[in-house]
Each structure stands twice: as structure tokens, then as C-alpha cells.
Homo-oligomer: A and B are copies of this chain.
């Protein structure tokens, strides 16, 4: 019987979750990657997740459709709202790209799958520095979900294990994340960050996510493999 511990990894196809997957794998977990098709504006991110899952040799990759657009309220899921460009202070306030309760929903699904798999480790690539405006990227949120997970599940009653929610990059700068991923051999050209790519999948270069990515590569002193439409 294979006794390698299993972990569920939330994999969006972006830089942060790709690095998180590389870290989970480096820690010796058998990785079960979970990607959501959630009314995103594009499929490009999902294709990046598929490439990453294959390259990083996950044990299984599930892509689950969930309808977050049905509630509206975010520029990432609502086509009537525009993705902000060239924001002056991207860490200020809660941006319109915030998707209500998104990470709570994502972690809930990860918990369901973990419970069926007999896994007790869940990895999520949230970052509290870059996304300080997102309430569900903070350490206190992750701790609260971990507590919830250990009350919500059969294992809480059967006492056969304790869930751990791993957020290994939560306190890293973007540059540190890129350095860690590079050290682990991750090829960042496979990742996609832009909130608003063109139809060929090229990154806009102006949204919050592009700005953070560009800055990260600059500060890490690594060449950015991304092709941007605008180099402003």
C-alpha cells in the first residue's frame, strides 16, 4: 500500500498557486490538484493549470465548474464590470476584482475532496502582502478555515486525523515567491496571471495582477517570461 501522504492543492494556473504546488510536491506529498471553472473571463488560466498539473506530475487533476458569476458583484466574473487598469495604489481598499467568498468556497470544495481521498493537507496559494485588500487572503482567515475544517468533517468525530490548511507563500513578497519557485525548478512561462488577456492569451500588462507580476520579476532579478500587450 502506498503510504505517501496525499494533499489537495488549489491550482488556478497563476504564479502563486503554481509555486504552491511546487512547494507541496517538494514536501513529498502526492498532489491532487483542484481547478475551478468559475465564470472567469477566459479559459487561458485553466489551460495554464492543465499544463502545470501535467508538468508537475500531479496524481490527479480535477477541473470543476462552479457558478460564481450567478451572484455577480465582481469584475472577474461579471462581464458588465471593467477590470481596473493602472491603479495607483493596488493594495488600497478592496478592489472590484474581489470575488465574494471565493476562497471560502474554494477551500470548502477542497475539504470535500480531501475527506473523500483520506487527505488531511490542503494547500492554497493566497498571499497577504500583494492582496492585502482581499479579506480571504489573510492568515486569520486561513486559521479560521482550518478550525472549521476540523469541526465540519467526519474526521472531527472519528478522530482519525487533523486537517492542516497550508498557505506556504502567504507572507512572501512576489519576488520571494518567484525565487522559491525557480529554486524548485518551476518554469513560470507556463503560468498565467493577467485578469484581462486578449483573445490570444497575451497579458494586458496594466491590471493589478500584471503589475504585481512584473514588479515581482524585476525585484527577484529574473527575466519575466510573459508577453505583455502594453509595456507601460
Contact = CB atoms under 8 A, between A and B. Distances in A.
In the assembly, how many copies of this chain are there? 2
B101 A112 contact: yes
Given A65-B67, A73-B115, A94-B158, A141 B152 contact: yes
Contact of A100 (B98, B103, B154): B154
Contacts of A140: 151
A95 to B, nearest CB: 10
Contacts of A111: 100-101, 104
- Interface of A: prevailing SS: helix
Interface residues on A, range: 35 or more
Interface in A145-165: 145, 147-149, 151-154, 156-158
Contacts of A101: 108-109, 111-112, 115, 152-153
Given A135-B157, A136-B153, A144-B148, 20 more contacts: A66-B66, A66-B67, A71-B116, A73-B116, A98-B154, A100-B112, A100-B116, A100-B154, A101-B108, A101-B109, A101-B111, A103-B152, A104-B112, A105-B109, A133-B157, A135-B151, A135-B154, A141-B152, A144-B152, A145-B148
6 contacts: A62-B70, A71-B112, A72-B116, A100-B112, A100-B115, A104-B149
